[in-house]
Chain A
Amino acid sequence: MMRSRIVILSMLVLMLSLAGFGCAKKAGGPGDGSGTSWEDQERARLEQERLLREKMGQAANELAQMIHFAFDSNNLTAESRQILTRKAEIMRQYPQIKLIVEGNCDQRGTAEYNLALGERRAQAAAQYLSNLGIGSDRLSTVSYGKERPLDPGHSEAAYAKNRRDEFRATY
């Protein structure tokens, strides 16, 4: 327990120092020089995000507001664009934070194609934020495809709830 805390703390120090030099080097694999496992790096990333969100308070919640999509579509609705515009304002207020856009799909398609489709949805929101002047170095995307449904049901309402982008403030 103690040892993993030390690893997490040392990872935090390492990452903060990298961030200080404006370096966005991605950690996560062998050859990244850190000598720590993927699991330890992931724990450190999650812990650092948690601390950041704690510090941001209400703004982090507002940044997390989801947007939804029509079936088999990555087009942004008027409501989605409004939500994204508000996110851009918050990101201007907090120039130190970055945003991860998570793309998600409903349960009808198949896993791998949906993983690629979710990426398209995440990119649609990231592109919109970028068009609003948020630097692309502050935006990243990850797709969960249909692997993380909010509602596991098979109704139209459940499908609509699951076709979404989620947003996470990060460092």
Chain B
Amino acid sequence: MTMRATKRIIGVFGALALVVGLFAGAARAQTSLAVDIQGPGQAKMNLVMARPFAGGGQLTAADKLQDLINKDLQFLPFLQLVPPSSIPGQINGPTADQIDFKPFSMGKIDVVVTAQWTPGGNLGNVELRAFEVYTQKVLVGKGYDSVTDAQLPDIADRFCMELMMALTGQGGFFNSQIAFVKPSSAKGTDIWTVRPTGRGLTRVTSYNELGMAVSPAWSFDGRRICFTLIGSRSHYLGVWSGGGKPQVYTLPTTSVVSPRFLPDGQIAVSLSLQGKADIYLLNSAYQPGRTIASSPGIDVSPTFDASGRLMAYVSDETGSPNIYVKDVSGGSGRRVTSSGYNTNPSMSPDGKLIAFTKQLGGAQKVFVHDLSSGQETQVTSGGGSDENPSFSPDGYFIAFSSTRSGQKKIYVTTRHGAQPVMIPTGDGAAQMPSWGPLPQ
């Protein structure tokens, strides 16, 4: 569906500084294009990316950048990439006066992207533009001088981030990171981080065969990761603070499950202090303080909204595991899933939605529960088992692990259930994603 929304985005974008060079594109005027990614539907815009304009010397770099932008745009399910050959419109140059917009308008194309390379230092200089077909105005204009090969991924990401900002008011996807777990030996697992585009793949822990680091969770400021470290005789709490080796804390129980940060930096974790798993807040010395969820059964997997007042968690107090919500300050939990095996909750930052997994047959599938309407929507389907959904900081995307292509890998869908796209995480299996912002 092509969308020409009447809602107008007032110029909230364009505050991002450029790393290299600067292109003062035409002042980004108000646009009539907007996708409400938080809304109920899943509107799509059609986008054509023109062949880059480049001299012979820059052709390889131009193609490479084009390919990187293409891959980035495939993560944005509200954009439908249309090959330029399917529209008879003429693009004679990179600027508005060189484009015959009419055929694009007839062909229901919403956005046209051009790239122009000119000779300069290193690979050359590049200018990227995105035009709104309807108004023929520049949505995004970026320029970079003396571009190097290593800068190309960053240039693609920044351009796509600004384009997403211009179209949705949010560009956090490109400004975020995912922590996840990879096997490091037959007996050990370690924590890694990666940006959702697959860039910046970094190993965070190196326990190798000595321990299993599992359940990583970002702090709300993107500076720390807490996790469970399973050793030979106990679980421990691991806390990584952005560099070097993580701190390992011993707790007064051998069962330390599902640690999570609250927005204020405190950690909540499920501990078996009374012979059953209850959820506790840890004090500043990383020792158990107040109990925040307790039942005769197992209570695990807390998740919090950005205010830190609302939590969702798993409890099996009625027999099988189900999702509950409650105020962190007190009161009893309210059950939000009705029957079956429901685990792995992730609360959207605005506290309106809970993504979780439901066991269907022998496999898990991701669902989204709307707390105000009580409506449950299945957002993943197909083969394999889908586990550990994690909302992106903007509350639009959902990362999860899946065995849909055999080995466990991490994929991205949206709250609306867009076609999942795999996040590149290198060789081997990848699981237990936790989505956080880049450090603020």
Residues of A near any B CB (own CB < 8 A): 26-30, 32, 37-39, 42-43, 45-46, 49, 72, 100, 108-113, 115-117, 119-120, 123, 140-144, 147-148, 154, 168, 170
Q: Is the pair B248, A30 in contact by a Cβ cutoff of 8 Å?
A: yes
Number of inter-chain CB pairs below 8 Å:
123
Q: Is the pair B343, A142 in contact by a Cβ cutoff of 8 Å?
A: no
Sorted nearest first, the 3 A-B pairs with minimum C-beta distance are A29-B250, A38-B248, A116-B277
Please measure, in the bound complex, the distance between the C-alpha atom of A109 and the C-alpha atom of B169, giving whole angstroms. Answer: 38
Q: A100-B232, A116-B298 are in contact. List 8 more A-B contacts (CB 8 A).
A: A32-B250, A37-B245, A45-B233, A109-B321, A116-B272, A117-B298, A119-B255, A142-B234
A75 to chain B, nearest CB (A): 14
Contacts of B212 in A (CB 8 A): 144, 147
Please measure, in the bound complex, the distance between the C-alpha atom of A144 and the C-alpha atom of B300, giving whole angstroms. Answer: 15
Contacts of A28 in B (CB 8 A): 231, 234, 236, 248, 250
Contacts of A143 in B (CB 8 A): 230, 235, 255
Q: Mark B204-218, 1 if CB is under 8 A from A, else 0.
A: 000100111011000
Q: Is B254 part of the binding interface, using a Cβ–Cβ cutoff of 8 Å?
A: yes
Q: Is B390 part of the binding interface, using a Cβ–Cβ cutoff of 8 Å?
A: no
Central interface residue in A43, A110, A142, by most chain B CB within 10 Å: A110
Q: Is the pair A109, B189 in contact by a Cβ cutoff of 8 Å?
A: no
Known: A38-B236, A113-B298. A26 touches B250 (CB 8 A): yes
Contacts of B357 in A (CB 8 A): 110
Identify 23 residue pairs between A and B in the complex whose beta-carbon atoms are under 8 Å apart, listed by A's number: A27-B250, A28-B250, A39-B207, A43-B210, A45-B231, A45-B232, A100-B233, A109-B321, A109-B359, A110-B343, A110-B344, A110-B364, A111-B214, A111-B387, A112-B270, A112-B343, A113-B316, A115-B214, A116-B272, A116-B277, A140-B233, A154-B362, A168-B232
Q: Is B331 part of the binding interface, using a Cβ–Cβ cutoff of 8 Å?
A: no
Central interface residue in B230, B341, B344, B387, by most chain A CB within 10 Å: B230
Using CB atoms, name the residue of chain A closest to B212: A147
Using CB atoms, name the residue of chain B closest to A49: B232
Q: Is the pair B362, A113 in contact by a Cβ cutoff of 8 Å?
A: no
Please measure, in the bound complex, the distance between the C-alpha atom of A27 and the C-alpha atom of B327, giving whole angstroms. Answer: 36
Q: Is the pair A148, B210 in contact by a Cβ cutoff of 8 Å?
A: no
Contacts of A109 in B (CB 8 A): 321, 341, 343, 359
Residues of B near any A CB (own CB < 8 A): 187, 189, 207, 210-212, 214-215, 228-236, 245, 247-250, 254-255, 257-258, 270, 272, 275, 277, 298, 300-301, 314, 316, 320-321, 341, 343-344, 357, 359, 362, 364, 387-388, 431-432
Q: Is the pair A119, B272 in contact by a Cβ cutoff of 8 Å?
A: yes
Please measure, in the bound complex, the distance between the C-alpha atom of A143 and the C-alpha atom of B131, giving whole angstroms. Answer: 56
Please measure, in the bound complex, the distance between the C-alpha atom of A39 and the C-alpha atom of B248, giving whole angstroms. Answer: 10
Among B189, B229, B343, which residue has its beta carbon within 8 angstroms of that of A38? B229
Please measure, in the bound complex, the distance between the C-alpha atom of A143 and the C-alpha atom of B277, giving whole angstroms. Answer: 12
Known: A100-B233, A144-B230. A110 touches B250 (CB 8 A): no
Q: Is the pair B211, A42 in contact by a Cβ cutoff of 8 Å?
A: yes
B389 to chain A, nearest CB (A): 10
A29 to chain B, nearest CB (A): 4
Known: A110-B343, A170-B233. A140 touches B254 (CB 8 A): yes
Central interface residue in B248, B255, B258, B362, by most chain A CB within 10 Å: B255
Please measure, in the bound complex, the distance between the C-alpha atom of A124 and the C-alpha atom of B270, giving whole angstroms. Answer: 19
Contacts of A39 in B (CB 8 A): 207, 210
Central interface residue in A117, A119, A144, by most chain B CB within 10 Å: A119
Contacts of B320 in A (CB 8 A): 72
B273 to chain A, nearest CB (A): 12
Contacts of B255 in A (CB 8 A): 115-116, 119, 141-143
A74 to chain B, nearest CB (A): 11
Q: Is the pair B314, A112 in contact by a Cβ cutoff of 8 Å?
A: yes
Please measure, in the bound complex, the distance between the C-alpha atom of A150 and the C-alpha atom of B36, giving whole angstroms. Answer: 48
Contacts of B232 in A (CB 8 A): 42, 45-46, 49, 100, 142, 168
Q: Is the pair A123, B275 in contact by a Cβ cutoff of 8 Å?
A: yes
Contacts of A148 in B (CB 8 A): 187
